[in-house]
Structure 1
Amino acid sequence: MITYDSVDLFAGPGGLDLGAKAAGLVPVGVEWCSQACATRRAAGLPTIQGDVRRYGPADFMPATRLLAGPPCQTFTVAGDGAGRRALDTVLDLAKRMAAREDIYDRLAGLDDERTGLVLEPLRWALDAADMGRPYEAIVLEQVPAVLPVWQAYTEILHAEGYNAACGVLAAEQYGVPQTRRRAVLVARRDALVGLPAPTHRPWRRGALSEVESCRLPVVTMGDVLPHRGPFVVISNYGTGGDPKNRGRRLSTEPAATVTGKISRNRIVAPDGRELPRLTHSEAGVLQGFPADYPWTGLDIGQQIGNAVPVPLAAHIVAAATGLRLPAPATESEAA
């Protein structure tokens, strides 16, 4: 029998779940991809394989918190842009859902059905409220282009009795060894809520502000992959095929955003020697997963790239629930 106190929609291989566990929750994940489910089960994470749209709060009555990271493919700049083009429609549908209108014929008319999945957490939240069992806390995560949707959610949740906040966070400011920007929403019924305060400095070249200098230093690739020694990562991501635009990150810097194509990145020694490319374990570590995480099945690179970075997940879950995370290491301990 599965024991849980929260439900994670579009749960993937478990990044949001591991963050939730660090914050003191016991989540169950709903995920349709059999490969991600295999990884989750190998990691011992409670898992229901299936389509989120076929379930609802009544199927997960013990869950008092709702977590979700809907698919981002139609909203990300690397995708075809169907979600971004349909943004006005999605915002209108959210308002109609809040008014308890039936929108499912209109959802069926979207160019890409994945776009409408960004509204599934709202359906779950409203259904739970209508059952008289509203979720105590809600945590949502997506690519920055979805921020207008989270802003619409914030207004709707306020009307439903929640305190809510949303914004775009930089993952490296929460101890993730990569630069990755994510739109997040946190909501809570019984207390004021806000986005989590950064624990680490932003990654940029140049002088830091007084506030930033009081934070922990950014976590670098070399910090989490010390066995590699000094190296340079050369990435084609975002180059449009132009070799002049290849991104370079030193091991003394955080990684660029980890994507499903991370195995294409070249790893070069300071003297120019080609080094072995990142393993699945190493790519997972850059997302905050343990080095021994049991990545399983096919297309593991995509599983890793789609995951929510674990340290960021822990901070946003803690912000939404009021639970405490273990204190981060001091700068002297981190050195």
Structure 2
Amino acid sequence: MTETLSLIDLFAGCGGMTVGFAREGFRSDLAVEFDFAAAATYAQNFGEAHTFFGDIADLADEDIPEVDVVIGGPPCQGFSNLGSRDVNDPRNKLWKEYLRVVTHARPKVFVLENVQRFSKSPEFELLLAEADHGCIEEYELRWGVLLASDYGVAQRRPRTIVIGSRIGPIEPPAPTHARMAHGHVKPWKTVRERIDGLPEHPKTTDLPARTTEVFGAAVQGPFSMEELHFGRNPRPISLERYDHVPPGGGRFDLPDHLLPRCWREKTSGTTDVMGRMRWDAPSLTIRTEFFKPEKGQYLHPQWEADDPDRRVNRVITHREAALLQDFPSDYKWCGSKTEIAKQIGNAVPAGLAAAVAKQVKAAITSAGQETDEDGLAEAV
């Protein structure tokens, strides 16, 4: 029987990375999350006993177990193209707390996940210095910017993945999917494959009035994925705008009389806002405000030019966003509508995490087999 590999998930959020690693047979021994609603969601799905709700700086060294793998993504707003890009942003220093846990947990492998531009940041250079002559000098680092759609996720979401290993270098996994299939590489998963068949017209705009107790305090939920399929009440002018946008289109498809002044005066850029998804392509990145069409390409993909009755003029629901983030259909959620949207948008797509987990597991298993063979040879 294959031994179950243990992990610590830092900055765990609602559990996207743990979902992916669990798919490959990993067991979470500790999860750390500062946001209450996100920590509650994690606890609902993986257990409260090993979930540390609080500041990672308050996690005592003696409470850090030794595990096979440490995973996590320190908050990235400072590096994000949508953020301040301020290298002095305190959120950019939290990777040092990540390294503190690594030094005490003594994992064979650690996986650090962040936004695309992290690999070009001054903080990344400091991370490389720590691997060269600092606290993680016994680890060999490999990294790359991976596109979630290249690993079976119906979303074109780029993330920087850094793999540190003290059992030999581990390269990021090779793509298993591509825009066009070739050889053993499958075609990209599509929006249709994840959300087709769900009710086009949600019956409610609200979450059920339900609370539970987690970490000794009340939180809204838990809610099923089905209960996340609620709509909104857009204004008539918003509905008129939505009606003009075809699949793959956006704000440039709106007639002048429907353009707000800010868009009328900005004749270039922000091409995905007020955008409509395509059924037969992956979505673009699902961000934390996917419920606002002015924030990206979040309109439901159903739209037919010759039949106005076959147009679904709404943004995707929380349920649809969670499915595009590759969460399982039986996942449970805690928090308000806005808090859950933030959890969904901040998560690592589970399929991308699973691809990394599979690569890491294979390396650990191989290293263990080599150790066993060496021991047997010495005994003979």
Task: Say if 1:187 and 1:320, in contact at 8 Å, map to a contact too.
Answer: no
The alpha-carbon distance between structure 1 residues 114 and 289, as it changes in their structure 2 partners (threshold 3 A), is: same
Matched, 1:297 2:335: yes
Find 1:269's aligned residue among 303, 317, 320: 303
Q: In the aligned structure 1, how far is the partner of 2:132 from the partner of 2:45?
A: 36
| CA deviation string 1:234-260 (max 9, x = no partner) | 667xxx963773444311110110011
Q: Report the TM-score, using the length of structure 2 for normalisation.
A: 0.67
Task: Say if 1:222 and 1:228, in contact at 8 Å, map to a contact too.
Answer: no
| CA deviation string 1:296-330 (max 9, x = no partner) | 112211110000110111111232342699xxxxx
Deviation at 1:187, TM superposition (A): 1.6
Aligned to 1:79: 83
Percent identical among aligned pairs is 30
Unaligned 5+ segments in structure 1 are: 87-109, 326-335
Unaligned 5+ segments in structure 2 are: 201-245, 252-260, 293-297, 366-380
Task: Say if 1:282 and 1:291, in contact at 8 Å, map to a contact too.
Answer: no
Aligned to 1:102: none
Q: In the aligned structure 2, how far is the partner of 1:233 from the partner of 1:301?
A: 23
Find 1:310's aligned residue among 350, 360, 372: 350
Aligned to 1:124: 101
Task: Say if 1:233 and 1:251, in contact at 8 Å, map to a contact too.
Answer: no
Aligned to 1:106: none
* Structure 1 stretch displaced more, 287-296 or 265-274: 265-274
Aligned to 1:138: 110
Q: In the aligned structure 1, how far is the partner of 2:323 from the partner of 2:115?
A: 20
Find 2:168's aligned residue among 172, 185, 191: 191
Q: In the aligned structure 2, how far is the partner of 1:212 from the partner of 1:139?
A: 29
Aligned to 1:54: 58
Deviation at 1:122, TM superposition (A): 2.2
| DSSP 3-state at the match of 1:120 | helix
The alpha-carbon distance between structure 1 residues 172 and 324, as it changes in their structure 2 partners (threshold 3 A), is: farther
Q: Report the TM-score, using the length of structure 1 for normalisation.
A: 0.75
Deviation at 1:50, TM superposition (A): 1.0
| CA deviation string 1:35-69 (max 9, x = no partner) | 10121122134411011112255312243321111
Find 1:37's aligned residue among 36, 39, 42: 39
* Structure 1 stretch displaced more, 56-65 or 14-23: 56-65
Aligned to 2:17: 16
Q: In the aligned structure 1, how far is the partner of 2:65 from the partner of 2:350?
A: 26
Letter in 1 for 2:23: A
Aligned to 2:326: 288
| DSSP 3-state at the match of 2:186 | coil
Aligned to 2:295: none
| DSSP 3-state at the match of 1:43 | helix
Aligned residues: 281
Letter in 1 for 2:359: A
Q: In the aligned structure 1, how far is the partner of 2:262 from the partner of 2:323?
A: 27
Q: In the aligned structure 2, how far is the partner of 1:241 from the partner of 1:122?
A: 44
Deviation at 1:120, TM superposition (A): 2.1
Letter in 1 for 2:93: G
The alpha-carbon distance between structure 1 residues 167 and 57, as it changes in their structure 2 partners (threshold 3 A), is: farther
| CA deviation string 1:175-210 (max 9, x = no partner) | 111001101101221233111111101x4xxxx5xx
Aligned to 1:217: 187
Find 1:161's aligned residue among 110, 134, 138: 138
| CA deviation string 1:263-294 (max 9, x = no partner) | 12332522452344322221111011012311
Deviation at 1:213, TM superposition (A): 5.4
Structure ID, larger Rg = 2
Q: In the aligned structure 1, how far is the partner of 2:147 from the partner of 2:364?
A: 20
